[in-house]
Each structure stands twice: as C-alpha cells, then as structure tokens.
Amino acid sequence: QVHLEESGGGSVQAGGSLKLSCAHPPITKTYNCFSWFRQSPGQERRWVASIQVDEGAVRNPYYEHSVKGRFAISEDLTSNILSLQMNSLKPEDTAVYYCAYEPGAWVCAESSTYYPHWGRGTQVTVSS
C-alpha cells in the first residue's frame, strides 16, 4: 500500500482560493498517474483532475470541465508532493477532496475504480 496524505483543506468564501497538497513516497514506476477526486455528501466520488508522471517527466494535466481554468494540478518530483491549486472557488466545489495514485498507468483514468491507492481526504467548504 502506498501512503498518500492530503493537507490544505479548509473553509473559504466564494471567489477565494485554497491549495491542496498530497504527500507521497518517491515514484519508482516508469508510468504513473496521480489524480484528485472529490465527494459531496450523498454523491459518488467524482474525478476532478489528473496528471501523468512518465519516465521522470510530468505531463498531460487535464481537468473536469467545471474546474478547467480555475484549478491547476501539479507534481513536484523533488519533494514528492502532488498539489491542486483551486481559485475562484464556488459553493458547488464543497466536498471532501482525495488524492489517488495508479502506478503503471499509461493513461490516467477518470473512474475511481482504477486507482488502488488513496489518501484519507481533506474537507473543502466554500460559503456563498
């Protein structure tokens, strides 16, 4: 089991910003996918953004349409931290946010079922 630990959640007013972090062990696989998901009460866990780390290079960040242009996913391979910068937050962004890791992935999946490793989640609350 790969240990992932999120931090950076909190409460913010609409229009504000938060940055989530996910600490993880050094990457040892050639192909890897890191993603962020979120889950609101009574809803299924939904994909937010993904980024690939292939042969030591970070590439292909992509986003769910409702967060594109507001959120930015990044990976710092020197500190082994996955981040999600969230700007222009809206009340509908309120959820528990999870980082997820799929080692060996050539392409990042948007379905949570493909990810064997998960963090415990961090709460983000956006008030109107």
Residue-wise pLDDT tens digits, 58-97: 999 999 999 999 999 999 999 999 999 999 999 999 999 9
Average pLDDT, the chain: 96
Roughly how many angstroms between the first and final C-alpha of the chain, as a whole number? Answer: 39
pLDDT value at 56 more than 90:
no
In whole angstroms, what is the distance from residue 35 CA to residue 4 CA? 12
Report pLDDT for 1.
86
In whole angstroms, what is the distance from residue 120 CA to residue 128 CA? 26
**For 25, which DSSP code?**
P
Give the amino acid at 76.
Answer: D
In whole angstroms, what is the distance from residue 34 CA to residue 88 CA? 23
